[in-house]
Structure 1
């Protein structure tokens, strides 16, 4: 695509109807791209059946655009960005559901953590699955609410939270010791594990009835801690994959930046679906390159018709290479090349090539 054509497309790229924007933005801060976002999430939910374990965590999409809900997080590599809550399948790393953080909402009946988990897990409730969360989301009320809908919860819980008894807040055990506590109705199991001499970790679980400690482990990690460690990093892996191969480009409009995030996440989901449907593994970088070529070929207008001979050559015979670089046989061209025409075997540079395979002017 020519550069000027690309700039023209980016100049007029919009994701909503501008005449209706003023009325929709009153009730929806995400109105400039909410229609595209909702279609993307609906496709994510309908195209995949998740496994028994899912994880919910945050993603900070790094950007410094002017946006009413931009976030600053000091513990992230990129301090500024748009925050998304992601629900990811633990085994395949498929994005199941996502939700943008649009700022404080005083009309919300529940706490933010509980509201996010219930919203993201709504399509997957009453199926016997388990969700893993960190201490921002985990609470006893959330665990009981999920358990009433046949969904278990495993997650770390804040030591200073209102659900924690006072004697547990000041509890100090010997190094690598474990203490298990249950609620009055025996629905929730609280595990206290002393990771360091001055620090312990609290985990809340409705999946485990008791705590089993593996005898071969030097640190004597309980079963709840090992399960949490094996399922907590799914969202971080998806965020890392999206950062490694990204379509992101400079732009000062936040809907365009959100659209880049949609493209990155949808490429990950397409890669997971391709592997599971075809039952074979492929490198994600190779898959993304092939996906980009196929998507561009759909919209590409053919400039000439290739003969059956050229198609057979393209499939069977790769472009021949010379041992030494020679001048291109075109009189107006002064380039040197080690490639030749596939039909007449004359030296031919890539600039004078007329096809995806190497075909010169005379052979065309």
Structure 2
């Protein structure tokens, strides 16, 4: 019996047939028909993800802010200047990875000529000062109901476009990102386990193989009245996986629970992930480690859920839950559940590594600009994924992608 006394676990796998509708994909993995039709190069893929409709909102709001700050001295900004500014942001990110500072890029003798030829450093800094994503005049009224009011329209339009151009494969990773930021923000988070520790938290759903960012959600803090949200992990997973069907969701112990697994099965989705040992659905017998040999595994089952307790070190165990695996199979010394989890858990972490390597982020005290820089980084990476997939590059194939953990593990049987 579980700690809560409402779940009965068995040491024998269930003999009931699996849910035939689970893990039957309803969408073809890879680029969508719209991508195949419109993508000729990386630039055209970027234009799909960051279209003129979004950039026009930014352009209009930036001109309003420019006139408010500089008055008659403000020169109206057009599409060409905005695209030039975005291009320099990307280029500055490339050279920043080589240790070149922003001012050194405009230096007359040692700088990069393309920066001086595009615009002056003063113009670049003026645009960075006034770039805006909403109308400041009616922001206070909107901010009373929405903490993300300063960039909500642009953010929602952009997130809505992400799933239109690429369908994830059978495995989707859901995890959290932390955008480093130490300025004033009503929903800034402190996460001591992260390298940056302070920043803006974003929930992300990514394809486990290509790390394509398929859905994102900004965490804006506690609810009204300072009340903490109950079952937040389950709510986040259900929100981010709302339009998926037939996929397996891999998540860590913040999200994993028996109730979440049951809710996902109702949506024709399976789940696998580590689970915290204080969860009421776990039986006490599964957590015992005394006398257990190294690399030993202990399995428990219900009709549609499997648990495994694995001992990697003396008197230490890790517990995982899966609604995908129905038998306690062992791959070498480790259970198949753990091998599958290790192979599919890195979708969001790999995205972080890729967008950090050549990030266009600049130092700023404005949190909406932090989110906009993240939008640009992810758009560039997603555009590269779409372009390589449309051109059928081998990089997008899970067994040939450099560094892919799928090279080390293949399921014992098709799921």
Q: Same fold (TM over 0.5)?
A: yes
Deviations 1:240-269 (Å, cap 9, x if unpaired)? 111111001111110011100110111110
Equivalence for 1:324 = none
Counterpart residue number, 1:119: 239
1:204 to 316, 321, 325: 321
* 1:261 counterpart residue number: 374
Question: 2:343 matched to 1:223?
Answer: no
Counterpart for residue 13 of structure 1: 131
Counterpart in the other structure of 1:128: 246
Match of 1:241 in 2: 354
Q: Distance in 2 between matches of 1:193 and 1:187?
A: 20
The answer to which structure has the higher helix fraction is 2
Larger Rg: 1
Residue equivalent to 1:188: 305
Displacement of 1:122 in angstroms is 0.6
CA root-mean-square deviation: 1.7
TM-score (norm 2): 0.64
For the Cα contact (< 8 Å) 1:160–1:169, is it kept in 2? no
Partner residue of 2:297?
Answer: 178
Over 2 Å off, 4+ runs:
105-110, 166-173, 279-282
What is the rounded CA distance, in whole Å, between the counterparts of 1:163 and 1:171 in structure 2? 18
What TM-score do the two structures reach when normalised by structure 1?
0.73
Q: Which among 87, 95, 98 is matched to residue 205 of structure 2?
A: 87
1:31 aligns with 2:144: no
- Write the distance in 1 (CA, Å) between the matches of 2:365 and 2:193: 24
Q: SS in structure 1 opposite 2:167?
A: coil
Post-superposition offset of 1:86: 0.7
Deviation by residue 1:279-318 (Cα, 9 ceiling, x = unmatched): 2379xxxxxxxxxxxxxxxxxxxxxxxxxxxxxxxxxxxx
Greater RCO, 1 or 2 (C-alpha within 8 Å, sep 6+): 2
Q: State the Cα deviation string for residues 166-204 of structure 1 (Å, max 9, x = none).
A: 232334422111111013xx1111111111112111110
Aligned length: 275
Consecutive unaligned residues of structure 2, counting only runs of 5 or more, are: 1-118, 396-415
Gaps of 5+ in 1: 283-364
SS at match of 2:330: coil
1:2 aligned to which of 120, 137, 140: 120
Matched, 1:46 2:164: yes
Contact 2:308/2:319 (8 A) holds in 1: yes
